[in-house]
Chains A and B, each alone.
Chain A
Amino acid sequence: MKKFSLLIALVLTMSFVLAGCNTNTDNEQTEINPEVPSENVTDNNNVDPGELVVYSNRNERFVQALLDKFTEDTGIKVSALHGANPLQLVEEQRNVRADIFISNDLGALGYLHSQGLLQGSNPQGIESIPADFRAEDNAFFAISVRSRGFIYNKDMISYEDMPKSNEDLFDAKWADVENGYAITRGGNGGMIGHISSLRYEWGDEKTAQWIDSIRTHAAGIYQGHGDIRRAVGAGEHAFGLVNNYYFHQQLVEPENNNVGFIYLDQGDDEMGAIANAAGLGLVNGAPNNENALIFLEWLLLPENQVLFVGESLELLINSEYGAEYPEVVAANIVEFKDLKSQDMPIKELGNYFEDTRALIEASGLDLDLR
């Protein structure tokens, strides 16, 4: 009997020790009383300065440095779930774990807010964000903007030969350019925002045909934009549909950087570039609410807004804060205000989110990879 209870105690103690970070006060207790259920351990993290749980669907490399600096500045430990889908918040709404949701797509944030999953607040510094780029109750706001367009490999195709608008992609001839072109799979946040804007402009029927065209004609269908810009740079495809900052990133690569970029639909009678913004929302019922508010105010400091752009090389909404770009990128920056961009206010995207997903799913693009 003794040996057996020893074994149980060993297994239990082992699992508590393995829990690592938050066992500091509980070790003694577990040895005396092996029946302590494990969830008690995780409750015990109100000790200063506590932690912050961030879900992010933005590229990890852009976000992690920001979060590391936050920890450095405030001592608050950040647990990040990178590659999170906004709908995870919907699924977990009765069991909220996230404090902050960082998104590449303001549409996703708008949708979450419409579902009551984000909460309003009034953090210091919020007035620095223009009203077009935040919810009325500030439940979510954007920091950086990007616009969609084609990155192309200058060794393979010239500016003149490139398609210049969304309409152009209906044409099957783009399937025949050398090595074809690349898009992301339909589940990608950037693609969802793109298609929402097309629906606003064109209506569902024409948009569905457009999805069908690119699905049929694209030579590569990728998970994310990072692979696309690398592939285009390396000559695996002639061009690819990405956000403009991926063009900036490819420019700073040591090799495969002979690339150009086309802002779409800039003609007088055309719809203008499809824009989107990256930002964040405060999760309703956030378990670490206080730390989440600290994070929001911290992020709104000009220097940290600049850091939000960080390695992504996006454009700041508050461009006067002076995001610094490498020389080669600075020469290629087109200020957001100098672009002709879509009529649809970016804040509207959220109202389109759900039906856009349904449209993408009906087309089959959500599951495609190639």
Chain B
Amino acid sequence: MSDFSNDYNIKKLNKKNDAKVGEKFSPTILRFIRRKWLNIWNCNPPGLILLLLGATVALIMSIPIFYVAWRSLFAGKSRWTRLLDQRIPQLLWNTVSLTAVVMVFTLIIGVSLAFVTIRTDIPFKKMWRWLLALPLIIPPYVGAVTYIIIFGRSGWARNFWRSVPWLVDNFGDYPINIFSFWGVAFVLTMFTYPYVYLITSASLRKMNRNFEEAARSLGMNNFQVFWKVILPALRPAIGASAILVALYVLSDFGAIAMLRYVTFTAAIYFQRVGFDTASASVLSLVLIVITIIILWIESKTRKNNKYYQTSNTYRKPSVLKLGKWKTVTILYVSIIFIVSVVLPIIVLVYWSIIGIRMGALDNRFIGFALNSLKVSSLAALLCMFLSMPVIYLKMRYPSIFTSIIERLSFAGYALPGVIVALGFIFIFNNYIPALYGTFYVVALAFVVRFLPQAMQSGEASLSLVSPKIDEAARSLGCPPWLVMFKVILPNMLPGVLAGGALVFVSSLKELPATLMLRPPGFDTLAVRIYFEASEAIYHLAAPAALLLIIVSIIPLRYMLSKY
């Protein structure tokens, strides 16, 4: 990478290789190993401390998951066969069908909204663009609570239905059952479509007009252009966002548990709550395998789908006139917005007002809020600190080792909090009992879950810092790890802090890992929402939920600027 460090390393190499005959190791072999080592690092190996730091982070990130998988192998043959016969087929069907349905619906809604807000002349385009991303700040389990209040068996909709004789006479009893497959699919769709919407919008905005004009000149009409030109070009974006949605559905615990639907994640949680940890780890292994298959499919499709944009002739895409479709389009966009944002917020505000009047904001509430704050800020701090070695290694010292370290650091991101928590319980209860049952463990679990968020935003800002700065520092005798903390970190602080804020908000909302790892007397807002809502005590659940949503506005700007 840099001439200086090459010379430096070669000199070091020569000095150390002044070996004498009869030494324990043959100098030839040593030289061979050194050469190989340098080749791996492209003649620019990182310092040992930096490498160790990075490797340690990767270990912490991935051990819990490997440990869960390992434990599942010792669950015993009878347990395996019993689960394979009785549980796994049903869970597999529940999980996979739900994932598939939510993927299809989020794709339809996300892509259509992206197209409408980017490529048509819909009024108030700019406003729609960010309004439609707002469901991002509503955690799906909070969304589930609001829809139980609206559509539940004794919800607002039923009361309305009963108060209208015409409806009862013509259609009989209230027909909606939110506690069903379609109820779960609906709630998850409404609160995860922004993943698809944002990524597709970004890709649409970058599309070149020339392709479409070429297609039109061949006599295609608007619909043909959409199906044959635009949609194929969006395939990478659509694929990537579909994977995000799928991973989310696989890992969701709160929404499905509140809607009383059982997927792998919920089954693992309930097995664990009943302390059948062996079965929990068997189910976890199956879920890990499903996740890996999904990630594998994604990497496969990415390789086969390459679309090139010619940048030198780039022209902004044309805007489609809606004409007579304008009313219909506005109606469609408004309905999605009302269902995914307005209604849930109205429900929460309504119940929060009732709750606050009844004194919900008491000392206990403040205690829960402080607990949330405490554990999330510790997680955010740790993430900012620990992401540095990994991204620094990745950007400045690319090699097979660094990509392994980076991949392992991503392990917790793709996997449900339930599995991370399960691994943590195994490890801390058995090997580090002093930390078991303290809130440090909860924070560490958050780090495993959300470190990649800090890494992604740190990476973006590190790419703006020139390697020349590193070289200058190195030439003054600093070892790489010190360069990273002392010279590079201050330069990329805004990006690191943004990453920290993201981790902070994700940690505030994290539910299953908190539920499984929290020490006695340490409830967080997320845990309270879950307990109060599952007991139908909405006036206590709503203020906490509303607070989480308000706090989440902070990183929304960051996320929107990213896409």
Contacts and interface: CB of A to CB of B under 8 A. Distances in A.
Interface string B377-413: 1100110010000000000000000000000000000
B260 interface: yes
Interface stretch (B16-24, B69-77, B267-275): B267-275
Interface string B254-287: 0001001110001100110111110000000000
A361 B440 contact: no
Contacts of B275: 85, 87-88, 90-91
B129 interface: no
A4 B486 contact: yes
B179 interface: yes
For the complex, would chain A's binding face be called helix, strand, loop or mixed by DSSP majority?
A: mixed
B57 to A, nearest CB: 14
A54 B520 contact: yes
Contacts of A87: 274-275
Contacts of A38: 435, 438, 440
A39 interface: yes
Nearest to A98: B520
A235 interface: yes
B154 interface: yes
Interface in A165-218: 179, 185, 187
Contacts of B277: 91
A32 interface: no
Nearest to A233: B154
B429 interface: yes
Contacts of A50: none
Given A4-B486, A367-B87, A231 B154 contact: yes
Nearest to A4: B485
Contacts of A88: 275
A369 B273 CA distance: 15
Interface stretch (B189-197, B239-247, B528-536): B528-536
Contacts of A81: 518-521
B434 A39 contact: yes
A362 B262 CA distance: 17
A88 B521 CA distance: 16
A364 B536 contact: no
A26 interface: no
Contacts of B179: 220, 370
Interface in A1-58: 1, 3-4, 7, 11, 14-15, 18-20, 37-39, 42, 53-55
A213 B434 CA distance: 46
Contacts of B520: 53-55, 79-81, 97-98
A70 interface: no
A92 interface: yes
Interface residues of A, number: 58
Contact of B385 (A11, A85, A226): A11
Given A3-B485, A80-B520, A222 B437 contact: no
Interface in A71-117: 78-83, 85, 87-88, 90-92, 94-95, 97-98
Given A42-B438, A55-B520, A369 B536 contact: no
A357 interface: yes
B486 to A, nearest CB: 6
Interface string B334-374: 00000000000000000000000000000000000010001
B128 interface: no
A20 B372 CA distance: 13
B153 A83 contact: no
Contact of B260 (A19, A97, A369): A369
Contact of A18 (B378, B429, B433): B378
Interface string A230-273: 11001110000000000000000000100000000000000000
A311 interface: no
Contacts of A90: 275
A85 B273 contact: yes
A13 B150 CA distance: 46
Given A234-B153, A367-B267, A80 B262 contact: no
Contacts of A227: 534-536
Contacts of B433: 94-95
Interface of A: 1, 3-4, 7, 11, 14-15, 18-20, 37-39, 42, 53-55, 60, 78-83, 85, 87-88, 90-92, 94-95, 97-98, 179, 185, 187, 220-224, 226-227, 230-231, 234-236, 256, 357, 361, 364, 366-370
Interface of B: 86-87, 153-154, 179, 257, 260-262, 266-267, 270-271, 273-277, 370, 374-375, 377-378, 381-382, 385, 429, 433-440, 482, 485-486, 518-522, 531, 534-536
Among all A-B residue pairs, the 5 with the closest Cβ atoms:
A79-B521, A87-B275, A234-B154, A236-B153, A39-B434
26 contacts: A1-B486, A4-B482, A7-B485, A11-B385, A19-B439, A20-B370, A37-B434, A53-B520, A54-B520, A79-B520, A79-B522, A85-B273, A87-B274, A88-B275, A92-B429, A92-B437, A94-B433, A95-B433, A95-B437, A185-B270, A187-B273, A230-B536, A231-B153, A234-B153, A367-B87, A370-B260
Given A11-B382, A87-B275, A369-B261, 20 more contacts: A7-B385, A18-B377, A20-B374, A38-B435, A53-B520, A79-B521, A83-B531, A85-B274, A87-B274, A91-B275, A95-B429, A97-B520, A98-B520, A179-B153, A187-B274, A226-B536, A227-B534, A227-B535, A361-B276, A366-B270
